[in-house]
Amino acid sequence: MSPNESAHRPVFVAETLSFLNPRDGGAYADCSCGHGYFAERLAQCIGPTGRLLCLDIDAEAVTATARRLDRFGERCTVVRGSYVDLPAIAAANGFGKLGGIVIDAGCTSREQLMNPALGLSFRVDGELNMKLDPSAPGPPARELIATLSGRELAALFRGAGESARTARVIASAIERSRARAPLTRTTELAQLVEGAVDAAGLRRGTRHPATRVFLSLRNAVNRELPALEEGIHAAVASLREGGRLCVLTYFGTEHALVRQTCRALERRCTCPPGLPVCACGRESVVRRLVRDPLSPSVREVDANESARSARLHIVERTTTPM
């Protein structure tokens, strides 16, 4: 694999920069900096007195970003941590309220996918691990495969968009296989899924039949959806009035979760219907700048395969206290 093929290419860079509108002297955060490709573009916009806080839960990503941003000196702070803890991390590193935040979490970077020790890809042989942060509680993927019941496995795969029938077929194949010997390798699981789906005549489209199985395991192992919802609340709480949050999502359940979370933060009165006057006094905490999340242009999809399913959600902080 050439260095270009193994390097991550961030999606929606122009749109995200245009909505965040980073200025000289402003304070910003890239909450899932990966290897720092987008962070570098942001750092170029903040002038000599601006500040950028970069976070990631993956230690290797943090090291790579710190190296990439080294030339910006003290203007950039790179920290290992989760966006769930953004307010505390920002305060601990001397950041006040932020003018703009990006969360690009819904997919793993290409560097992570190609890392056999993480075991994230059905194309790269490695132990079925998938933990981006080894210190986080919870089991690795091989343990989920070994211990969840057939019904639980099928429900997990359905959560990532697999059809009920295909999810059942794959879960049964896993149950049969693990009764003979534990399933511990990525390529072993990929081949098993491929064989089961083909034998049942269920292969559809050009996507690898194990795509959703791997996605659902990665989501479960890293608690990705609950963390993303918490992360959006943490980010909104860290924005100054008029500050903006851009969230990139990559698959159906994630698009829906971010959409609902942003909508809930925008909601005003939540009194039961029928009350003559509002009793809750609730006001919007954010304003959605786009009603429907943005889709990538055909040009971007042609140039970058990861953009295919990406969506961009953008909200702006109001004056309502949280």
Ligand X SMILES: C[S@@+](CC[C@H](N)C(=O)[O-])C[C@H]1O[C@@H](n2cnc3c(N)ncnc32)[C@H](O)[C@@H]1O
Chain contacts with ligand X (rule: CB under 6 A): 8, 10, 31-38, 55-58, 61, 82-84, 104-105, 107-109, 112, 132, 227, 231
Nearest distance from C-beta of residue 317 to ligand X, angstroms: 20
Nearest distance from C-beta of residue 201 to ligand X, angstroms: 34
Q: Is 12 left (phi over 0), alpha (psi -120 to 50) or beta?
A: left
DSSP secondary structure string for all residues of 13-59: HHHHHHHH---TT-EEEETT-TTSHHHHHHHTTSTTT-EEEEEES-H
DSSP state at residue 10 = -
Neighbours of 31 (CB within 10 A): 29
Dist CA 238 CA 162 (whole Å): 36
Task: Return the residue matching tokens 């203007």.
Answer: 75
Nearest distance from C-beta of residue 130 to ligand X, angstroms: 11
Cβ–Cβ < 8 Å for 171, 151: yes
Closest to ligand X by CB, 104 vs 254, is 104
Closest CB to ligand X: residue number = 34
Closest to ligand X by CB, 133 vs 194, is 133
Dist CA 237 CA 90 (whole Å): 11
Give the type of residue at 143.
E
Q: Which helix (H) or strand (E) element contains residue 27?
A: strand 27-30
Closest to ligand X by CB, 35 vs 142, is 35
Whose CA is closest to 10, among 65, 50, 59, 51?
65
Pull the structure tokens for residue 42. Answer: 């942001």
Closest to ligand X by CB, 167 vs 310, is 310
Cβ–Cβ < 8 Å for 254, 106: yes
Dist CA 231 CA 233 (whole Å): 5
Question: Which residues, including other chains, have CB under 8 Å from residue 197's CB and lie 6 or more apart?
Answer: 166, 169, 170, 203, 209
Closest to ligand X by CB, 32 vs 184, is 32
Closest to ligand X by CB, 8 vs 142, is 8
Closest to ligand X by CB, 69 vs 170, is 69
The CA-atom distances, in angstroms, between 222 and each of 93, 106, 158, 228, 299 are 25, 11, 17, 11, 32
Cβ–Cβ < 8 Å for 157, 216: yes
Closest to ligand X by CB, 102 vs 190, is 102
Closest to ligand X by CB, 13 vs 146, is 13
Whose CA is closest to 218, among 208, 229, 210, 207?
210
